Amino acid sequence: MTMDATLSGHLQELRRGTVVVASLTVLREPGYGYSLLETLSAAGFEVEANTLYPLLRRLEAQGLLTSEWNTDEARPRKFYRTTTQGDAIAIALREEWARLDKAITDLDPTRGNRK
């Protein structure tokens, strides 16, 4: 396996979890799927619709998101929003992310932080 293929696989694994955290964070304000895709893309998260929509359904099934249809516009849209539990999970995941980031930084000998 080439270096590029190996890196690509590891980056995909890394991004998979970050999209969950990012989605729960963004959806603290109601939003629909396409808008979420645009927001995530603008922030640097590479995610495709065929990945995001099943993720949204899974998070809703887990009780972390709620959804409702808005039929006021010409084209009905399904809006998502984090639940109270979803907010708590997002906060916990972001705290863990910060802890892991610090731990990895502390392991980096080029930073002079290693004990």
User: Per-residue confidence of the chain (115 residues) as pLDDT tens digits?
Assistant: 788 889 988 888 888 889 999 999 999 999 999 999 999 999 998 899 999 999 999 999 999 999 999 888 888 899 999 999 999 999 999 999 999 999 999 998 887 554 5
C-alpha span between 88 and 5 (Å, rounded): 36
Is the separation of the CB atoms in 93 and 24 below 8 Å?
yes
**Helix (H) or strand (E) run with residue 82 in it:** strand 77-82
Instruction: State the pTM of this model.
Output: 0.84
